[in-house]
Amino acid sequence: MYSGQNQNDDYDFNYEVDFSANSGPPGTASGNYKFGAKAPRMSTAMGSGGNNAPGASRMGTQGQSQPGEARPMTSVSGAGFSSKAGPNATRQQFDPLNAARGAAPALAEKADNSAEDMAKELEKTVHRLIEESADASARGEWGKALEKGKEAGKEERRLCKHRESNGLGDQINIDLTYAVWFNLANVYQQNGMMEEALNTYTLVVKNKNYPQAGRLRVNMGNIYYMQKKYVQANKMYRMALDQIPNSSKEVRFKIFRNIGNSYVKMGLFQDAIQNFETIMNASPDFQTGFNLILCYYALGDTEKMRRGFNKLLAIPMQGQEGDEDEEEEAKAVEEAEAVGQARVDGLREELKRQRKEAEHYIMTAARLIAPALDKSDWTVGYSWVHDALKLDHDNLASAMSIDQGLQYLKNKDFEKAIELLKSFEKKDQSMKAMAATNLSFIYFLEGDYTNADEYADLAVRNSRYNAKALVNKGNCLFMNHEYHRAKELYLEAIGVQADCVEAIYNLGLANMRMNSPDEARQAFEKLHTIIPNNPAVIYQIANLYEQQQQNQQAAKWFNVLITRVPTDPGILSRLGQIFSKENEETQGFHYQMESYRHYPVNLDVISWLGVWFVKHEMYEKSIQYFERASQIQPNEVKWRLMVTSCYRRMGNYTKALQLYEQIHEEYPDNIECLRYLVAICKDLGRPYEEHQKKLVKLDRMLASKNQNAGGGGGGPGGGGAGALTQMDRGGGGGQREVSPRAPPKNSPKKEQALAAPSAKGVDSRGGGGGERQEEDFADDDVNDLLV
């Protein structure tokens, strides 16, 4: 208790106390009175000797009066109360509580310069940094959490050094040190710095001051598990299990489950089964039961699979509704919560989450073991699983029946699938909508769009918020060329389920059919963010860019596509064509060669490469590709004519004449072969009159046919003459004298002026004139072919 005698030494109450004569409490006849103090006993005579003088009166209590002073009528002075202030300035008002003094003087500032005070401030700083790190970690800001965690570690070390240097070592807070290093190890792990996290955990668990730190080995085991070091993870889990007391059963069972998972990863299924069975016999849960069934499935033990599935179904499901009235009541409450009429019940939401998780494990296990219970007849397993589910989980049994219908589809047994799904038409609304959706899909695959549309309408009527039903209805409208209505349904399906990939993809296709490439590309790009590795989506984006003549963007997306499907020859060829359009011949040639390497029988790629070599005057290479094309299409004359043209371009006219004669024997009505045969015979001085007569005759026949057909039709001598004309004139570099060419196909030809192209480097002789003429491979035609 504070007193005036020790006011200078008091730690918590150190301010000056000043009672003046005017402001102090009212005095008495014997001086200032202290409240609460015991008054001294009044003596009968207060003289210097302590005894009354002879003859002195005993009435005075203050002492003997001095000579010349008037004796007061009483020994006690007045209380000083007056209803009005008198003229005497020294008179004080009655104020026993000193209310007139006003506010108390300000407290003197407390000095915090002691070593202990600094330690307290540092400890507060460490606590604040730990809380900030944990808060950032909870928000997912891993970088900030790590930064604050490191700062907390530095401040904690500084605190420890400060206490040791000032003789306060006994005040070191080991719990605070534990919290700092545990938080730092945790944020290391969250930032993917696994080695740093392991080192930090190791420092903590090896410290003898932390007897409960052994459970941190579970965290170390989790890190090893993430690094796929399952042996080390298993070791850490076992070491942690040895340090957990038997009273902590829940923690021990979770460690048992981790040990079993590590055994599964190592392929030791029997050891994993022992750990999982230990948990299922003492404290069963759905995750452990599912893992146990997986181990039985891996070993192929059908009897234990049945037993394990029954154990899984025997686990009580949290939040399972008891009757229809409770279900209806729960639906009403959920609807009220959805529209904001009632506050969201967190407990109900948690129970719903647990129920969904349990149903997920049960259905996954059922789908896994049903086809494996009987190898000879897979339907036996589905029937057994359906009967087991029907006892307590009727909704899951119905879902399993629908899954059996889908299994019929996989086995191409459409009749049984339709029969099974139609049996749900008399079920409850949710099952009816699900079955109708699948029936609509089956009929759509079979091309029966009428029934597909009928069941799609049924599914939409029973569940308007079924995204897949809306997609099926939109697909039926799409096939009927009602693209606008189909687009509306796809958008509605996306509104119901924002990540419905089928609706987004089909929306892009509908926009393409409606000539809205920008909207189509927008849909495919949105879908690409959801499924970034899907080749079909990437192809659609690249294709749209190419259609819009944005070749650079198209090349960019095709490059992305070939990283997903690097051996697709069609994509490689498309990419080569795009680079050719951008005049990047080297890149175009590279991708065409890659396409040819993966698929060497694509005639478009072969002809492109052959023409490219002709254009660069590498005729030996082009001959190889044209010969390969003639092997693929032995009845197509144009490839053999291309080979012959390459020999003629090389100057090997003897070989060219030999090949032309062979082609003429097999295809006597081919006008292009005759034209070049006449020309080369003239240039080599060989007889050509017989070939000339045949050429004139064929030209007359062609002109007559064109006149009768109204100018349509092609030459009589083998298909591909027109293509040959364009291909054969391709290639060659530099400027050359252009020789007279045959009149264009589909135009009437005159009997005279049938000037044939002369062989390169050989003077023309005979009716063709004496001027030296050269054959030309027009670069413009080659560029058209390379596009």
Which pLDDT value is given to residue 750? Answer: 32
Alpha helices in 565-615 (DSSP H): 569-581, 585-598, 603-615
Distance of CA 541 to the CA centre of its chain: 20
pLDDT surpasses 90 at 535: yes
CB-CB contact of 243 with 216 (8 Å) = no
pLDDT in tens, 65-102: 454 555 655 556 555 555 555 555 455 666 777 766 66
Which pLDDT value is given to residue 342? Answer: 65
CB-CB contact of 448 with 459 (8 Å) = no
Question: What kind and span of H or E run contains 203?
Answer: helix 194-205
Q: Which residues pair with 28 in a beta bridge?
A: 31
Nearest-angstrom CA–CA distance, 516 and 523: 11
Domains and CATH numbers, the chain: 115-281 (1.25.40.10), 636-786 (1.25.40)
Q: What residue type is 597 in one-letter code?
A: R
Which pLDDT value is given to residue 392? Answer: 82
Which pLDDT value is given to residue 111? Answer: 53
- Distances, alpha carbon 337 to alpha carbons 344, 481, 496, in Å: 6, 41, 18
- Is residue 331 very low, low, confident or very high in pLDDT (cuts 50, 70, 90)? low
pLDDT surpasses 80 at 306: yes
Q: What does the block give as tokens for 544?
A: 């749209």
- Is residue 341 very low, low, confident or very high in pLDDT (cuts 50, 70, 90)? low
pLDDT in tens, 681-729: 888 888 877 878 888 888 888 888 877 765 444 443 443 333 333 333 3
Which pLDDT value is given to residue 327? Answer: 56
Distance of CA 239 to the CA centre of its chain: 36
pLDDT in tens, 224-242: 999 999 999 999 999 999 8
Terminal-residue alpha carbon distance, the chain: 102
Nearest-angstrom CA–CA distance, 313 and 384: 13
CB-CB contact of 204 with 178 (8 Å) = yes
CB-CB contact of 671 with 694 (8 Å) = no
Question: What is the bridge-based pairing of β-strands 31-32 and 27-28?
Answer: antiparallel
pLDDT surpasses 70 at 399: yes
Which pLDDT value is given to residue 417? Answer: 83
Q: What does the block give as tokens for 783?
A: 């560029």
Give the CA-trace dihedral at 234, 240, 241, 243, to 10 degrees: 150
Nearest-angstrom CA–CA distance, 611 and 629: 12
CB-CB contact of 438 with 402 (8 Å) = yes
Long-range contacts of 472-477 (CB under 8 A, 24+ apart): 472/437, 472/440, 472/441, 472/444, 473/440, 474/503, 474/506, 474/510, 475/444, 475/506, 476/440, 476/444, 476/449, 476/452
- Is residue 495 very low, low, confident or very high in pLDDT (cuts 50, 70, 90)? very high
The residues, ordered by sequence, that sit 6+ positions from 527 with a Cβ below 8 Å of its Cβ are 501, 504, 505, 508, 534, 537
Q: Of 380, 393, 443, 386, give the one whose Cα is nearest residue 417.
A: 443
Alpha helices in 532-583 (DSSP H): 535-547, 551-564, 569-581
CB-CB contact of 452 with 471 (8 Å) = no
CB-CB contact of 542 with 558 (8 Å) = yes
- What is the mean predicted confidence (pLDDT) over 45-64? 42
**Among all chains, which residue has been given the structure tokens 């944990």?**
134
Least confident segment among 115-119, 193-197, 215-219: 115-119
Average pLDDT, the chain: 77
Which pLDDT value is given to residue 418? Answer: 83
Q: What does the block give as tokens for 499?
A: 């990540």
Choose the most confident range, by mean pLDDT, from 315-319, 535-539, 638-642, 756-760.
535-539
Interhelix angle 216-226/249-266, nearest 10 degrees? 20
Which pLDDT value is given to residue 282? Answer: 87
- Is residue 323 very low, low, confident or very high in pLDDT (cuts 50, 70, 90)? very low
3-state secondary structure of 340: coil
Nearest-angstrom CA–CA distance, 785 and 724: 12
Report if pTM > 0.85: no
Q: Of 764, 738, 753, 769, give the one whose Cα is nearest residue 679.
A: 764
Nearest-angstrom CA–CA distance, 671 and 683: 19
Which pLDDT value is given to residue 8? Answer: 45
Give the CA-trace dihedral at 302, 303, 309, 315, to 10 degrees: -160
**Among all chains, which residue has been given the structure tokens 């609509």?**
440
Which pLDDT value is given to residue 237? Answer: 92
The residues, ordered by sequence, that sit 6+ positions from 728 with a Cβ below 8 Å of its Cβ are 641, 642, 645, 672
Comparing 413 with 787, the larger pLDDT belongs to 413
Q: Which residues pair with 31 in a beta bridge?
A: 28
Comparing 744 with 345, the larger pLDDT belongs to 345
Nearest-angstrom CA–CA distance, 476 and 443: 10
The residues, ordered by sequence, that sit 6+ positions from 19 with a Cβ below 8 Å of its Cβ are 25
